[in-house]
Structure formats: structure tokens, C-alpha cells
Structure 1
């Protein structure tokens, strides 16, 4: 079944709206490269449109009613936006769910080392990556350092024009004959993804003193900063630590309680001579997170018939685990709090509301790439420019780990999309026995709600720089908005 490209149906108004949405999206993924940054920016955008803290409403005992808009945050890294509708909450919600974490290199808790005049940072990769794609690439450091006094220092180095950047080095091709014979997953080992951090040594001038003066000098040495004590043994590492102390006030031991992510440095860009695509880091899954957020905020001050929820979660790339992943109680607890303040609290109404809900698990799909056509089954592949993608099921090989949407729900979604004039397509994630992947869909499905995967096709998924089509981004936004209003 052939689906035409969405580009052919656009008039000037559509193209203007498409470019405006794409510009906002490029800005969002350029400025927000961690889950903390995405959540903080999403809250700021929501508050500009009248959303208020659910925690404050709970603390104040403020009742919620149709038209009210609230947000809830889990540990700075998972977010729920709720826009209350006119129908009783027990009748269910329309839910958009996306994830805001992306593959990257995380600094280890003890990251610093020095060898042969080079200071390095040890990393532990996060999510599914091809290690070799992360070498000789300009990297930026984003994250937070939590200190023992309770303060939290934000770190962002490598994005401003005047900032330095970092990289993982590679072996020069002239000496790489053995390396080139290795399998792709062995060319660069995970433990070799060390970030080059510095090369300049810290120079400490020492005076030659004896007797009482020497004792005084030794006492003074005991009071010196930790980096100065390192200077004789590891001078390059010492100089790097001095710079961190001077700029951020953080010591080496503070990295025990830090979350620092190494991500590709630089802004997302238009791609193609026709500027029809976007190339940037973290489009899996921030392309769906941003369009979901935009659709939720597009409800503005109207009161939807059904309460709309947008759920932006962490940890999908490693199994949706932890306190900020979809498998946590954050989603269920937040819905319970909302229902309590709306006068519909209780365990049974909560269960009924969740079972009656409908959800789009907004996650990306593999775009058909003619350079690697043998990995795809053409009739059941997603193509750039043909619109929002629906995956009835995902999983691996025999649908392992999949949520498989019912035929009735797929039919309902088709009607919503057709009525709204949304270009959409259906797909699987490559050939049956080639591989596969998962999403958060199976987790909320445990409540008995209808869930289907939907998102934007991506080329070079999980690479440091991924590619999407502006037409698909636009159709995703339109599809998500139609779902919130009409599902």
C-alpha cells in the first residue's frame, strides 16, 4: 500500500507553519541535550501558557476543575503535563508519552586520569550505540554536580562559540591495519571511550628553604588546594582541576555525586539543499517529545472534552527503569493526585480511569535508507516525508517485548488521522529476523488502556547525529493534536 509524500499537499500557509515548527524544534534540541534540560525547558514553556505546579496544588489543597493545567516533575528528569477536560476523569485520558533521554557517554564517578602528558575522563556509554561513531567528534559536557553542602552546580562546556570542546581519539589509519580487521563492535571498546580533557601542566614554583622556614612551608603545603598537591605527580590533571575549581567551585571528589553527560557539541541544522530535513543530536526521542509538548500546549485555554496528558520520561534507552522511567510509580501516583484534587480520588476510580484511557506511545521509527535497503522490508517500512508513523507492534523477531495494539484501536486512530487530514504511514522496525527494538508502550498497556506506537521516521538512529524530515515533524504535531482533541 503506497503512501504519497506529504510535501505535495502543502500550500503556502502549511509551509510557513511547518518551517515555524521546525525552527522551534531545532532551537529546542540544540539548547536541551539532557533529560534535565528538556524537562526544565518544557516546564518554562508550559508555565508561560498557564500551567502550575501540581505539588503546590497538593500542598495548598487547591481543588482542580475542568480547564485547569498542572505539571508534575520527578527528580528533575521526568515530567507530566495535564490539561483537565470537561468529562469525568474516571472516563479516561488521552495520553501522549515520549522519552527525553538519548544515547550518550556518561562520565564515571571517578573519571579523571593522566597518562603521558594527557588528562582524560573515563566514560560509561548509555544506551545502544556504535562505539566507533563517537571518536574524533567534538563533544560538549552537560550536567550537574551535587555538592555535600546541598548546592547543585550546573555544568555546560562546549556549546558557546568561545568554549573549548572535547573528543575521544582514534588510531591513525597509517598504524591501524590490525584495528581495521576487527568486527564493528570491537573496533573501539567501551573502556577505550576516554575523553581527551587537557594537555597543559600546572606549574608550581618552589622556594629552596631550610630549618624553621622549611617547617613553615610544609605547614603551608598542608593547606594548599587539592589540585596543587597533585601538581608534582599529575600536573596536567592538576591544571584541569584548577580550572574547574576556578570556574565552578567543584573539586575532584564532587564528581562522586555528579551527572555529567558527554554529547555532540554544536547546534542542530537544516539538512539538504532544499532545507527539507533536520540533522541533530538526540532526535530519538526528542522529536516526538517536542511535538507532543507542542500539541499539548496548542490546546491553549480551550477545555478539551477528555483530559489530556503528556508524559515525558527518562531511562527508556536502558529499559525504562528507575525512579524517572516509565516503569516507576511516577505516572500512576501523579494521576492519583490529580484525581484526588478533582474530587474523584480512590483506588478503584484510578484503575477505571487508567483502563479507559487511550495513549500514543510517541517514539521514533526506523526510516528506510536506500544505502542499507537489505535491512528493510519495503512494503512495511517508514519513509521520510510520508508523515507520522504507526507501529502496531515493535519488539524483536517474534514480537518479543512488544505491545501489540488491537485492530479496533488501530481503526479508531485511522479515523482520527483521516478526519484531521494527517498524513500517516504504518511500519515495522526492519526485517523480521534482522533485529528490532522496544518503546515504553507495553508499560502503560498493563493498566488495560489502548496503546499504539507512533512517531517520526529517523535515519542514522542512535548515531551522534540523526536525520528527520520536517514534513514528518509537522505531521506528527498535527496528528498528536488531533489525537488529544478527538480520540
Structure 2
């Protein structure tokens, strides 16, 4: 039978629609409380422990049915259910990233200019810089104080909190300084500075020249015990201050910051938590960091962390029989879904897509054989046999899916963690929902696709 795509809402019963909408409420709540990778990991630990998972540090041995989690520097969490089959037959991985495009503070950020207290920033990941100006921003992150204590900061999420903003120039005066700039330079990186204060300190010390800046330091010291040097050992991020919201009269779309890729992080987390029986093969939900900047660093997929935790699992199952050859054999026999989002057709800019090979909102999870940039650069390109396996798995379990690529061949492109999984010999393909306005402060995703992605990941773990 010829493969055709169909909008999933058309066949969704009243009962199914209620399940879809209910699931999305949980997802929206998680987005609102997990706006950084550290926060997402903390909330994931809570859910994991509520569902019978325990920290791996409590285990000297592992056996079928054990549920454990690993934490890597508060920015990765790996949830594991030991399966019935010999682990040398491989592991079923679903791997998502939980970092998102954002704006970070520089390590020496605070200064005073024109009687404003300002902070300098450095954007993280691929953003359209102009989308982040003249909008309320919240400050999230962690600071290591001079005495070694760690302080977590969230300012701007409570309705009574102040927010921060990058001031744009009014259209009446922009003709010479901004209007003729191309879109990538409407705001330049060094211009993305935020207003953090405007009232001068009442201090009488004549040596204090920058009194508005001093007010900010007084507030930070009073509330968090911070001194200016503590910014050097801080990770502070600016994210949109708004909450996840339903979009449209029919409420069929969730609009939010962070769909890419927390939509896959949440659905894969829920999928492994909701497994009712011990899976045949060991199941691993891996929530990683640093994808938006190339997956480098000790918490990115280019690190050897995957080998670390897989070898630890195997050693705790095999004891002295374990060796590195067996770990590599396990990885070579493993399968993975690189769970990342696809670019859904934007109704205003359809020309960048080959519509016959593009994803649409409401049509189910998107399977992407290859990503990359022009000529398939920077992709693993799943083999046809593995595509066939995933196709059969989804068809046999009534999963609504579509096949797509990122955009037209010469329009641009992008990558995922797939090639770093494939580097270990793991058979890998990208699979996640379509998103419109990707990398913006307010991305769009269909509630139908969110739920269908959860169902797809759960089937992958089970089957």
C-alpha cells in the first residue's frame, strides 16, 4: 500500500483527545519549572525516585528489573532499567538533549553606563538575536561563593519578581544606527546587554563612584551572600520569563520556550518511567547537555560518559568477567533513537521546505534518516535496514509517524547527537516531533505530536 501521511487529529477519538490534552498539561508544567539543564535534571530525579528508581551509588550489583539513575555533574541524567536478555545483545537507548538556546552572563558582567546598572552577555547556541530584546527575561543559575558554598538563583518567574530586559531602540531614531542592518546584525552580540538596575545607592562612601552598580551588589549580597568576584565562578542564564501556553482557539498547540529539545527529554523520561513490565533489553533514557554548542565538554555526547556508565552497568552485572571488549560489543549491538525535533513547515515561509519531504504539526513523530548541512555534512545517515526496523515497529504498534528532512538541500541545515551515538557503532536514527519557530523564545509544537512521541519512545523501550 502506498505510504500516505494523515493529520492525526482526524482519527483521534474523544477519549484519545482527552489523554493527549492531559499529557500536555504535565509537559507544560515541567517546562515551566525546568528552564535550565540543572533544573531539568533536579526535577527528573524527583520523578524518577517517585517511580521506583534509585541512585546507582546504592548498588554494588545489578540484575534484571533493577531501576537506577546516574547523574553527571548535575547536567546529565541517565535512567536505566536492566532488561531480561543478556546485555551483550545490546541496549535500547533514547537520547535527548536538555540544553536550549539562551543568553548567558559573561564571567565579569556587571558595569554602570548612563546611570543604568547593566550586565554583559554571551549567547548560547543558534539564536536570532533580535528576538531576545525588549522582552521580559528571567535569570536562572548557580553561583559558587568564595567560601565554596553553592547558591541557586531564580529571579523573574514568580509574578512578584522583577525581570530583566535588553533595551531596543525606538523606530523614530533607528534609521542610521540599526534600520539598514541585515537580520543577523539587527542586534550584535556585544549589544545584548541587560538592564539590571537604575537606583543609586545611598551609601556615603566617597570612594564608591558607580552607585547604581553598587545598589545591585548590595542586593545580591543581602539576598545571596554574593560579592562581585563570585560572578567568576557562576553559571547564570537569561531565559524567557513567560510560561508555556496553549495556542489557538482549539488549544491544539503548545507555545513555549525550550521545546528544542525538552519536548523529547520529557517524553522519553515519561516513557521509561511508565514501563509496566521489565523490558526484554536493557532500556536507557539519556538526557544530555551541550548539543546546541556541538556536544563538546564532559556533559556533551562527544565525551566518554556513555562508555563510563555502560561499563559500570556491565561490571555490576558481570563482575570480574567484564572487560572493555565486551562493553564495545554491547554498544555495537545496541540501537538508539536520537530524540530531537524536526523543523515543521512554517505557513509563512514554506519556500525553504521540500513539502514532499517536510514535517507537519499534527502528523505524529518525525523519523529523520539524516540531518546535516548541504551534501549530508555532519550526519550519521541511518542505514536502510534500521529505517525498516523502526518503520515496522511503529506500524505494528499503531504509532502515527512521518518521514522528513530538515529543509531544502541548499537552504542550510543542522545536526543532532545521532552521529556521536553512531560513532560507537550504535544503530541510530533521529526521531522526534515537529516544531515551528525553532530556537525562538516561543516555539510551537502540536499536542498530538507530543503524545505520539511519548507513545513511540515507550514502544521502542518495550519492543
Q: TM-score by structure 1 length?
A: 0.93
Task: Say whether residues 1:278 and 2:254 are aligned partners.
Answer: yes
- C-alpha RMSD of the superposition: 1.1
Counterpart of 1:41?
43
Counterpart of 1:294?
270
Deviation at 1:229, TM superposition (A): 7.5
Pick from 8, 24, 27 the counterpart of residue 26 of structure 2.
Answer: 24
Report the Cα distance in structure 2 between the residues aligned to 1:269 and 1:229, rounded to whole angstroms: 49
Pick from 394, 397, 411 the counterpart of residue 388 of structure 2.
Answer: 411
Deviation at 1:9, TM superposition (A): 1.6
Counterpart of 2:340?
363
Counterpart of 1:120?
118
| CA deviation vs aligned residue, 1:295-327 (integer Å, no higher than 9, x gap) | 111114x21101100010000000000000011
Task: Say whether residues 1:251 and 2:234 are aligned partners.
Answer: no
Name the SS for the 2:77 alignment partner: strand
| 1:75-474 alignment, distance < 5 Å | 75-178=73-176, 179-205=178-204, 232-300=208-276, 302-343=277-318, 345-474=322-451
Deviation at 1:148, TM superposition (A): 2.7
Name the SS for the 1:66 alignment partner: coil
| CA deviation vs aligned residue, 1:117-173 (integer Å, no higher than 9, x gap) | 100010000000111111001000000001232210000000001000000010100
Answer yes or no: is the 8 Å Cα contact 1:80–1:331 preserved in 2. Answer: no
Answer yes or no: is the 8 Å Cα contact 1:122–1:195 preserved in 2. Answer: yes
Segments of structure 1 that go 5 or more residues without pairing to the other structure are 206-227
Counterpart of 1:51?
53
How many residue pairs get matched? 458
Q: TM-score by structure 2 length?
A: 0.97
Segments of structure 2 that go 5 or more residues without pairing to the other structure are none
Name the SS for the 1:484 alignment partner: helix
Counterpart of 1:73?
71
Deviation at 1:204, TM superposition (A): 2.1
Report the Cα distance in structure 2 between the residues aligned to 1:8 and 1:164, rounded to whole angstroms: 44
Report the Cα distance in structure 1 between the residues aligned to 2:210 and 2:453, rounded to whole angstroms: 52
Moved over 6 A (4+): none
